[in-house]
Chains A and B, each alone.
Chain A
Amino acid sequence: MNETVSTLFAVAIGGAFGAMLRYRFRFITKNSKISMGSLPSNIIASFVLGLITALFSDAFFAMQGWQSWFQPFLTVGFAGSLSTFSTLALEMHENTEKRNWTTTFGYAAFTFGAGLAAFGIGFFIGTSVPV
């Protein structure tokens, strides 16, 4: 199959799974007074992207033919769709309306910090795996 077409399907299927899982994960924070439904998904997606980025920079994976679709399936498709910025921004807006600026800033800062840390941890694990 043409490489662009196989990548397109990989991104589409990864995106479909990412979106469904994101919808599922909003239950984790449903009892919170703060709107933060996208937080778990954003953290997990950052972890996954860090892990995959490290794993696929490795020569072992680079040699495999399936990398051409498996890598975009997980990164652009799955991790890209599992994480979201639009819902995060809408939640920031809701937090300002319902609560205050401090909550909004704290939520944004926490999401950013946790995302950065999750990416770093994923990347570290990815580089430590002996292959």
Chain B
Amino acid sequence: MHFPPYLLIALGGAIGSVVRWMISIRLDDSLALLPLGKEGFAWPTLLINILGCLLIGWIAGHRKHSLDVWHFWVVGVLGGFTTFSTFILETTWQLQSQNWIYAFSYVFITFVACYIATSYALKKSKQRSNK
């Protein structure tokens, strides 16, 4: 038996978005203490996106996952948790204040780290589920 996809997606999207919002307001001040944080380097979004990419790779690497798991966790929770629009907003602000180095490093690190996180988690989870 399957649950209606849109129900799972809506529920997951709501949960993922709320968790992202809570992390960003809770950790904003402490993450600003990291290198470049004071200059506007968007650590919360970066860490949220990397974490979401690790999880999507981990789920995608499983040989068998039900459609319900995919709809709720991948499309809903992780899709709602990670964000591209906020990433673009933050990049735009850095470009506008001519923080070229921060803008470039933010974009570069986000893409490379998210790609590596996804591939790595997928490979590891594939190895485990094939054992």
Residues of A bordering B, CB below 8 Å = 7-8, 11-20, 22-23, 38, 42, 45-46, 48-50, 53, 72, 76-77, 79-90, 92-93, 96, 104, 108, 111-112, 115-116, 118-120, 123
**CB closest residue in chain B, given A105:** B111
Instruction: Give how many B residues have a beta carbon under 8 Å from the other chain's beta carbons.
Output: 48
Residues of B bordering A, CB below 8 Å = 5-6, 9-18, 20-21, 49, 52-53, 55-57, 60, 71, 74-76, 78-89, 91-92, 107, 110-111, 114-115, 117-119, 122
Distance between Cα atoms of A120 and B115 in the complex (Å): 26
Q: List 30 A-B contacts (CB under 8 A).
A: A11-B21, A14-B17, A15-B18, A16-B17, A19-B10, A19-B12, A23-B6, A23-B9, A38-B84, A42-B84, A48-B85, A49-B85, A49-B88, A50-B89, A72-B21, A76-B17, A76-B20, A79-B83, A80-B21, A81-B83, A84-B80, A84-B83, A86-B52, A86-B114, A87-B79, A89-B57, A93-B118, A115-B84, A115-B85, A118-B88
